[in-house]
């Protein structure tokens, strides 16, 4: 793939799809999406910061999207309780945000590492 | 050169995952593994149940013999219709697991002394407590006996176990209950032994208070001397209205327990002031003193319909998930509805199409300590009847999270396991070697009692069913469609001499041993009495003409029974609604007796203006513990303060905490005579205070406290009491706090801070049974489900649900029926 404008949406999409799909096979550890992100970033060479962003956005979107969907169907019953156990003053918005950030960071760091490996 | 950034990035990434995959310490507790916990694909989000979840399902299971249909109503109560009796318990086990898996696992882990395994070394001393008390030992005795001698019960418990495990087998890892994810451990296979462990836990909850009380009473006696002790902890209860009406004749006693000749000096008046305690072990919270209940049945002569009505409301700790789970069980042999225990097959309190039954705690003393002398620190031999007798050793291995196993070697004696010794002690045990003898250690067919009650057709069936009951002793109330009402205090009870077992007993010879168990025919029983009702509220079951000693009077709350009996005696043309009103009644009969008694000693002219104001407020109060009442708070604070002024000084000097005397002791003393030598403040030497002086002191102190409460807006009873239904892990976020509910200690509506009516049931035995009930919780144990706490507000408001108890075709067509789960043989 040479077209950079094409590579960005493709790797975001691949990250997201892989993260979603591997989550369905739950015998694998919860961080398995980091392996898929790593492989995707190895396969699609990009500048390190671009790799980070595509990996981060792919996983971050899935995690935020899933959490938001689940939370709406649950009318915030559980998220409000959890946001009181974790010190978030019962804010489900914050909890969804933190969930998304965790996915974003881990996904991004994994892709970033792969991208550096390719260049090392 | 990109090696450096690669290495840096790899290190940051791996560290980040490791941190998010570790339980991080926060204060005394630990976080979940945050990455896992937050993952929307595996973590807690998976437990957030859709509000419009469809519970329809079709389940194939190998262990089934036939087909089972379960219809769930809109409160998520399952109505199980099975072709045979074993399948029904398989399905009950499956449903318990589907809705309450974590709770079942957690409660049996507590009972088995296995908390350290999931929570770490912090819980070690609590685990040791339950192991040394013989909880696992007792469960093993029951399991062995049932396996060897009772094929029907074995098949029942095995079917239940198979049902729990069938649910777990199909449960994928991301769907395990929320609490496992929070505390980071995994569900494990259910076993029959866990069912017996759960029942052991109920024995502990309802009779285990002696395990702490006997030590405290012994130390209190040692500190005060027996004469003063006997004044403050008197067994005399002038106002007692027993379960069996006074004047009823009892069967002739077949046993005549006699106190040993030296009991006066070697037991009652014995004092032992040494306090030598090293490596103190923390004990679990003592079973709540208010673990009790109300139950009653009124005969057709007192009801509007001419048919009996039965009521039962067990008072236990208020928890989420609730101890109870509602269920209807219908097979070709019987049809039963009521509250079941997740962890055990069958209905525990409920009704079938012939009769209804309920239970309250008997409160009888069935746990004693015997003090031993060991030959040496190996504990291989103890002194008994003039010779050294060999112990056996029981090894209990406690697994500890993130740490090495701990092995407890427990010396077993003919009395029972050695609970306390130099290795395991607390300030109350004072380093003594104490063996514990407890009826719960005996193998027990408790499950069979409920199995038979579920199927009972008449009074004889009921008597046969409860005759199997051993521990914890209960008052079984019953009413039949044909018009019988009855109540029997049932269990294995010790034929005791006066005060036997109130204190630690000498264990060096047989003279203090139990002299026999009371034969079943001599247990207190009454059927169709002339007054048209039977009732119990944990008071003493009998008056002083009963030939055996029941246990220390502090185990028998006095006032709820008076209230229930007084009200029932005055009622006629009773309806189910009247009975609901009585179960939720907030009248304070204790205050009605205590306030006039107290006022005899109040010198209004000597009180400060503020105190006078409060006393007036107390006198104007209508004597109902309503949620918005201030009078009850004023009364309670004044009364507690007066008690403290009267006997606080006597108890204050003790190096270890002593038991507080019961409130009735002071009320009855005030009613008998306003001179009470205990009133003298022993810390003043130049003056002998009278009761009047101490009442004055108490009220002045109370008025300061009340002023402070008023400032914090906590004078209103519901705010002062702050009733809460607490999650089993005591996590506030998973609990329901500050419920607007009245009631309290000594009130029929016995709701205190974290304790009270854990299941309210009213059953009108008309042709088509009219039943009402609810418990403060919800059918789902999942904090992420709308059914987690769906009954709590209705319960707090004192309202009821009409219970759907219908044959299959009618239930199927009922407007409240929402889902269908079909079980078939794989």
| Among A62, A66, A116, beta carbon nearest to B2 | A116
A-B contacts (CB, under 8 Å)? 120
Q: How far apart are CA B256 and CA B430, in angstroms?
A: 34
Q: Which of A27-31, B346-350, B770-774 bottoms out in mean pLDDT, i.e. has the lowest? A: A27-31
pLDDT in tens, B124-175: 999 999 999 999 999 999 999 999 999 999 999 999 999 999 999 999 999 9
Residues from chain A that touch B43, judged by Cβ atoms under 8 A, are: 30
pLDDT in tens, B556-603: 999 999 999 999 999 999 999 999 999 999 999 999 999 999 999 999
Residue B653 CA to chain centroid, in angstroms?
Answer: 32
Segment A86-93 mean pLDDT? 95
Q: How far apart are CA A5 and CA A68, in angstroms?
A: 29
Segment B383-395 mean pLDDT? 97
Residues from chain B that touch A99, judged by Cβ atoms under 8 A, are: 38, 40, 45
Q: Report pLDDT for B306.
A: 97
Residues from chain A that touch B732, judged by Cβ atoms under 8 A, are: 84
Q: Report pLDDT for B172.
A: 93
User: How would DSSP label each residue in B704-736?
Assistant: HHHHHHHHTT--SHHHHH-EEEEETT--GGGSE
User: How would DSSP label each residue in chain A?
Assistant: ---HHHHHHHHHHHHHHHHHHHHHSTTS-TTTHHHHHHHHHHHS---HHHHHHHHHHHHHHHHHHHHHHHHHHTTTHHHHHHHHHTTSTT-HHHHHHHHHHHHHHHHHHHHHHHHHHHH-
Residue B711 forms contact with A (CB below 8 Å): no
Q: How far apart are CA B805 and CA B331, in angstroms?
A: 13
Residue B77 CA to chain centroid, in angstroms?
Answer: 24
Q: List the one residue out of B155, B169, B143 whose CA is nearest residue B89.
A: B155
| Among B12, B50, B732, beta carbon nearest to A74 | B50
* Closest-approach residue (CA) in chain A for B1: A120
- The residues, ordered by sequence, that sit 6+ positions from B327 with a Cβ below 8 Å of its Cβ are B77, B78, B79, B80, B92, B95, B337, B338, B339, B340, B347
Segment B6-25 mean pLDDT? 94
B91 touches B105 (CB < 8 A) = no
Q: Would the pLDDT of B424 be above 90?
A: yes
Report the residue of B45, B176, B780 to disrupt the A interface, i.e. the one with the largest count of A CBs within 10 Å.
B45
Q: Report pLDDT for B427.
A: 87
Tell me the two tokens of residue B744: 């309290």
Tell me how close the Cα of A9 comes to any Cα of chain B, in angstroms.
Answer: 23
Residues from chain A that touch B1, judged by Cβ atoms under 8 A, are: 120
Q: Would the pLDDT of A2 be above 60?
A: no
Q: Hey, which residues does B595 pair with through a beta bridge?
A: none
pLDDT in tens, B744-755: 999 999 999 999
Tell me the longest C-alpha to C-alpha distance in chain A. Answer: 49
Report all structural domains of chain B as residue ranges with CATH numbers, in order of start.
Answer: 589-715 (1.10.1400)
Q: List the one residue out of B744, B771, B786, B781 whose CA is nearest residue B324.
A: B781
- The residues, ordered by sequence, that sit 6+ positions from B204 with a Cβ below 8 Å of its Cβ are B111, B130, B133, B135, B211, B287, B440
Cβ of A116 within 8 Å of Cβ of B785? The answer is no
* Closest-approach residue (CA) in chain B for A99: B38
Name the CA radius of gyration of chain A, rounded.
16
Residue B30 forms contact with A (CB below 8 Å): no
Complex prediction ipTM: 0.97
Cβ of A74 within 8 Å of Cβ of B3? The answer is no
Residues from chain A that touch B173, judged by Cβ atoms under 8 A, are: 26-27
Residue B182 forms contact with A (CB below 8 Å): yes
Cβ of B732 within 8 Å of Cβ of A48? The answer is no
Residue B339, classified by CB atoms within 10 Å of its CB into exposed (0-12), middle (13-18) or buried (19+), is buried
Residues from chain B that touch A85, judged by Cβ atoms under 8 A, are: 182, 731, 733-734
Cβ of A78 within 8 Å of Cβ of B178? The answer is yes
Q: Which residue reads 């074995």 in tokens? A: B154
B255 touches B496 (CB < 8 A) = no
pLDDT in tens, B109-138: 999 999 999 999 999 999 999 999 999 999
| Among A27, A74, A105, beta carbon nearest to B51 | A74
| Among A24, A34, A102, beta carbon nearest to B38 | A102
Residues from chain A that touch B174, judged by Cβ atoms under 8 A, are: 26
Q: List the one residue out of B817, B68, B759, B766 whose CA is nearest residue B353.
A: B766
Q: Report pLDDT for B674.
A: 66
Alpha helices in B662-814 (DSSP H): 663-672, 691-711, 717-721, 792-796, 808-813
User: Crossing angle for the helix pair B609-620 and B631-652, nearest 10 degrees?
Assistant: 120
Q: List the one residue out of B736, B661, B753, B643 whose CA is nearest residue B698.
A: B643
Tell me the two tokens of residue B26: 């926060």
Tell me how close the Cα of A8 comes to any Cα of chain B, in angstroms.
Answer: 21
- The residues, ordered by sequence, that sit 6+ positions from B107 with a Cβ below 8 Å of its Cβ are B198, B201, B343, B728
Cβ of A116 within 8 Å of Cβ of B783? The answer is no
Q: Hey, which residues does B325 pair with through a beta bridge?
A: B340
Q: Report pLDDT for A1.
A: 46
Cβ of B9 within 8 Å of Cβ of A116? The answer is yes
Residue B39 forms contact with A (CB below 8 Å): yes
Burial B790-826 (b: 16+ CB within 10 A, else e): bbbeebbebebbebbbbeeeebeeeeebebebebeee
Dihedral sign, CA of B668, B288, B730, B25? positive
Q: How far apart are CA B749 and CA B207, in angstroms?
A: 22
Tell me the two tokens of residue B745: 């200690």
DSSP B553: G
* Closest-approach residue (CA) in chain B for A102: B35
Tell me the two tokens of residue B437: 């003898």
Q: What mean pLDDT is reported for chain B?
A: 95
Q: Would the pLDDT of B359 be above 90?
A: yes
pTM: 0.96
pLDDT in tens, B471-492: 999 999 999 999 999 999 999 9
pLDDT in tens, B509-564: 999 999 999 999 999 999 999 999 999 999 999 999 999 999 999 999 999 999 99
Tell me the two tokens of residue B265: 């000096």
Q: Would the pLDDT of B99 be above 60?
A: yes
Q: How far apart are CA B508 and CA B266, in angstroms?
A: 12
**What is the phi/psi pair of residue B41, to 5°?**
-100, -20
Q: Report pLDDT for B330.
A: 98
Write the CA distances from A89 to A95, A102, B782, integer angstroms: 10, 19, 21
Q: Report pLDDT for A4.
A: 65
DSSP three-state, residue B301: helix
Report the residue of A69, A116, A119 to disrupt the B interface, i.e. the one with the largest count of B CBs within 10 Å.
A116
Report the residue of B1, B38, B177, B737 to disrupt the A interface, i.e. the one with the largest count of A CBs within 10 Å.
B38
- The residues, ordered by sequence, that sit 6+ positions from B579 with a Cβ below 8 Å of its Cβ are B298, B309, B311, B762
Cα-based torsion angle of the residue sequence B405, B409, B415, B421 in order, rounded to the nearest 10 degrees: -90
Q: Would the pLDDT of B278 be above 70?
A: no
């Amino acid at each position: 793939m040479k077209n950079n404008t094409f590579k960005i949406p493709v790797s975001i999409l691949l990250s997201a799809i892989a993260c979603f799909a591997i989550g369905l096979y739950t015998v694998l550890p919860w961080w398995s999406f980091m392996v898929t992100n790593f492989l995707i970033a190895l396969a699609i060479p990009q500048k390190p910061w671009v790799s980070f962003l595509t990996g981060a956005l792919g996983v971050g979107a899935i995690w935020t999207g899933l959490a938001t969907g689940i939370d709406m169907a649950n009318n915030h019953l559980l998220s409000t309780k959890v946001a009181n156990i974790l010190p978030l003053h019962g804010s489900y918005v914050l909890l969804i945000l933190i969930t998304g950030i965790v996915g974003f960071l881990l996904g991004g760091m994994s892709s970033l590492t792969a991208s550096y490996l390719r260049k090392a | 050169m990109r090696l450096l950034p690669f290495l840096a990035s790899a290190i940051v990434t791996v560290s980040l995952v490791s941190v998010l995959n570790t339980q991080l310490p926060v204060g005394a507790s630990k976080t979940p593994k945050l990455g896992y916990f937050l993952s929307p694909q595996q973590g807690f989000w998976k437990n957030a149940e859709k509000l419009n979840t469809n519970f329809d399902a079709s389940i194939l299971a190998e262990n089934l013999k036939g087909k089972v249909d379960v219809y769930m109503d809109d409160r998520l109560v399952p109505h199980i219709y099975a072709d045979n009796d074993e399948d029904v318990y398989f399905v009950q086990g499956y449903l318990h697991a589907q809705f309450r898996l974590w709770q079942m696992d957690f409660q049996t882990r507590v009972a088995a002394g296995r908390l350290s395994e999931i929570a770490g070394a912090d819980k070690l001393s609590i685990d040791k407590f339950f192991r040394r008390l013989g909880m696992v030992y007792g469960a093993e005795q029951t399991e062995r006996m049932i396996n060897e001698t009772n094929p029907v019960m074995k098949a029942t418990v095995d079917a239940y176990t198979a049902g729990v495990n069938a649910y777990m087998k199909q449960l994928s890892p991301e769907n395990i209950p929320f609490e496992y994810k929070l505390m980071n451990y995994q569900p494990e296979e259910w076993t029959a032994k866990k069912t017996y462990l759960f029942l052991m836990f109920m024995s502990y909850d309802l009779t285990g208070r002696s395990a702490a009380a006997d030590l405290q009473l012994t130390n209190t006696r040692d500190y005060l001397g027996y004469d003063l002790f006997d004044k403050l902890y008197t067994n005399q209860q002038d106002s007692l209205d027993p379960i069996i009406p006074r004047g009823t004749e009892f069967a002739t006693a077949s046993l005549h327990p006699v106190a040993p000749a030296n009991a006066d000096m070697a037991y009652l008046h014995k004092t032992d002031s040494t306090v030598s305690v090293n490596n103190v072990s923390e004990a679990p919270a003592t079973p709540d003193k208010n673990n009790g209940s109300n139950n009653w049945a009124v005969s057709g002569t007192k009801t509007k319909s001419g048919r009996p009505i039965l009521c039962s409301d067990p008072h236990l700790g208020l928890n989420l998930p609730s101890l109870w789970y509602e269920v209807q069980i219908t097979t070709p042999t019987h049809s039963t509805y009521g509250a079941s225990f997740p962890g055990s097959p069958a209905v525990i309190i409920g009704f079938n199409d012939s009769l209804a039954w309920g239970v309250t705690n008997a409160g009888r003393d069935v746990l004693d300590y015997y003090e031993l002398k060991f030959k040496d620190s190996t504990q291989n031999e103890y002194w008994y009847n003039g010779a050294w007798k060999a112990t056996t050793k029981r090894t209990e291995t406690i697994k500890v999270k993130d740490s090495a196993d701990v092995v407890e070697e427990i010396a077993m004696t003919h009395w029972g396991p050695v609970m306390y010794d130099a290795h395991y002690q607390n300030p109350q045990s004072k380093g003594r070697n104490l063996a514990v003898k407890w009826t719960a250690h005996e193998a027990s067919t408790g499950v069979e009692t409920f199995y038979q009650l579920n199927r009972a057709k008449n009074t004889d069936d009921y008597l046969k069913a409860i005759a199997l009951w051993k521990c914890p002793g209960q008052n079984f109330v019953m009413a039949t469609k044909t018009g019988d009402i009855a109540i029997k205090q049932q269990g294995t009870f010790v034929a005791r001499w006066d005060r036997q077992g109130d204190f630690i007993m000498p264990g060096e010879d047989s003279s203090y041993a139990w002299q026999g168990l009371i034969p079943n025919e001599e247990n207190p029983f009454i059927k169709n009495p002339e007054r048209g009702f039977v009732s119990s509220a944990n008071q003493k079951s009998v008056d002083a003409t009963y030939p055996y000693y029941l246990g220390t009077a502090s185990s028998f709350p006095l006032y709820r029974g008076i209230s229930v009996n007084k009200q029932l005696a005055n009622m006629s043309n009773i309806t189910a609604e009247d009975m609901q009103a009585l179960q939720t009644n907030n009248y304070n009969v204790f205050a009605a007796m205590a306030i006039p008694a107290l006022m005899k000693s109040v010198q209004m002219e000597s009180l400060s203006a503020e105190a006078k104001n409060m006393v007036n407020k107390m006198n104007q109060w209508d004597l109902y513990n309503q949620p918005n009442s201030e009078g009850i708070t004023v009364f309670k604070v004044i009364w507690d303060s007066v008690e403290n002024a009267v006997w606080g000084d006597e108890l204050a000097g003790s190096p270890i905490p002593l038991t507080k005397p019961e409130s009735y002791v002071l009320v009855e003393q005030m009613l008998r005579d306003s001179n009470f030598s205990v009133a003298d403040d022993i810390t003043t030497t130049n003056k002998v205070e009278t009761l009047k002086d101490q009442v004055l002191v108490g009220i002045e102190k109370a008025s300061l406290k009340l002023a402070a409460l008023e400032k914090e807006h906590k004078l209103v009873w519901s705010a002062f009491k702050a009733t809460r239904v607490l999650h089993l892990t005591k996590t506030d976020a998973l609990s329901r706090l500050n419920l607007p509910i009245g009631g309290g200690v000594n009130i029929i509506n016995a709701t205190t801070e974290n304790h009270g009516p854990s299941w309210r049931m009213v059953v009108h035995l008309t042709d088509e049974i009219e039943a009402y009930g609810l418990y403060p919780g919800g059918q789902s144990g999942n904090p992420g489900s709308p059914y987690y706490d769906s009954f709590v507000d209705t319960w707090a408001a004192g309202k009821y649900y009409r219970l759907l108890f219908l044959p299959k075709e009618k239930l199927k067509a009922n407007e409240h029926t929402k889902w269908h789960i079909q079980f078939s043989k794989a």
